[in-house]
Amino acid sequence: MLRNLYLKVKYLITKDIWYNIPYFIPLNKFSEFEKFLDYKIYRPKYYLTALTHRSYLEGEDNSKISNERLEYLGDAVIDLIVGKYLFNNFPDDDEGFLTKTRSMLVNKSALYDAAKRIKLYDFILVSENYSKTLPNGSKTVLSDAYEALIGAIYLDKGINKAENFAINTLIEPSFNIKGYLKDRNFKSQLLEYAQKEHIEDIDYYVVKEEGPQHQKSFTVEVKLNNTVYGTGSGKNKKSAEQNAAKNALQKIKIS
């Protein structure tokens, strides 16, 4: 109550639209918004900016900016967070895998899914025409708003809060739902299989290396208890190991 009173008094003194958040978002909705952020908001300006689509500003003389600049910042912050997460959680995977997986996690579809997952459409300020497309349409509006929200969290609470929020709402749900881990980390899958079957030895051997120094090709065999289970090739040893593990998993499923 005191915080809401503070916001209203601040608005009366400054006439700054950003302190009049209850006018734009009902107080019960604002409380819901804080719940899924899991912390109290004391500087609402960033969040109101993040939730304001440019279509909403038409005819609003006292409105200043849309969420486009925060979207730009949020995009950079998400790239950093996702890159760090993948680097730390996939220590054996090469740059190609990390780059592909990051692009899958930060594309509009993944961001749109995250925005829908947290029901961000309940809070976005858009024109009447745009409001008819939410929540099931307007992928760009929702994905952009999610990026802007990450930017707002970063400015208000710092990188750690932004990182926790992105991991909980974007990264981990994306892995769980879309199966990135299952589809792409074949060495991890093969290791899980070996542990489940009580296989003690799993080894990767380079059996062939060919081509000039700048364009080499590697062929790798993977052995479980000294028995060859799969063979794979790649432009570097790590990708060849992944392909060997993939080949082994295919044979295991057939047998």
Catalytic residue among 147, 156, 163, 241: 147
Question: What pLDDT score does 24 carry?
Answer: 54
Query: What is the residue-level pLDDT of the chain in tens, covering all 255 positions?
Result: 444 544 554 444 444 444 444 445 555 566 777 777 888 777 778 888 888 887 776 655 444 577 889 999 999 999 999 999 999 998 877 887 788 889 889 988 899 999 998 888 888 877 766 665 555 557 888 999 999 999 999 999 999 999 999 999 999 998 876 555 445 678 888 888 888 888 889 999 999 999 888 788 999 999 999 999 999 999 889 889 999 999 998 888 755
Question: What pLDDT score does 181 carry?
Answer: 47
DSSP string, the chain: -HHHHHHHHHHHHH--GGG-HHHHS-HHHHHHHHHHHTS--S-HHHHHHHTB-GGGGTT-TT----SHHHHHHHHHHHHHHHHHHHHHH-TTS-HHHHHHHHHHHHSHHHHHHHHHHTTGGGT-B--HHHHTTTTTS-HHHHHHHHHHHHHHHHHHH-HHHHHHHHIIIIIHHHHHHH-HHHHH-HHHHHHHHHHHTT---EEEEEEEEES-GGG-EEEEEEEETTEEEEEEEESSHHHHHHHHHHHHHHHHHH-
Give the Å distances, CA to CA, from 167 to 77, 101, 119, 120, 217.
12, 14, 17, 16, 36
Close Cβ partners of 181 (under 8 Å, ≥ 6 residues apart): 175, 188
Question: What pLDDT score does 95 carry?
Answer: 83
Q: Look up residue 114 and give its two tokens.
A: 């995250």
| Domain architecture of the chain: domains with CATH | 2-182 (1.10.1520.10), 186-254 (3.30.160.20)
- Can you tell me the distance from the alpha carbon of 183 to that of 175, in angstroms, rounded to the nearest whole number? 10
Catalytic residue among 68, 75, 79, 94: 75
Entry pTM: 0.63
CB 1 within 8 A of CB 25: no
Question: What pLDDT score does 134 carry?
Answer: 58
Q: Look up residue 77 and give its two tokens.
A: 């912050």
128 given a catalytic annotation: no
Question: What pLDDT score does 143 carry?
Answer: 92
Question: What pLDDT score does 63 carry?
Answer: 47
75 given a catalytic annotation: yes
Question: What pLDDT score does 17 carry?
Answer: 44
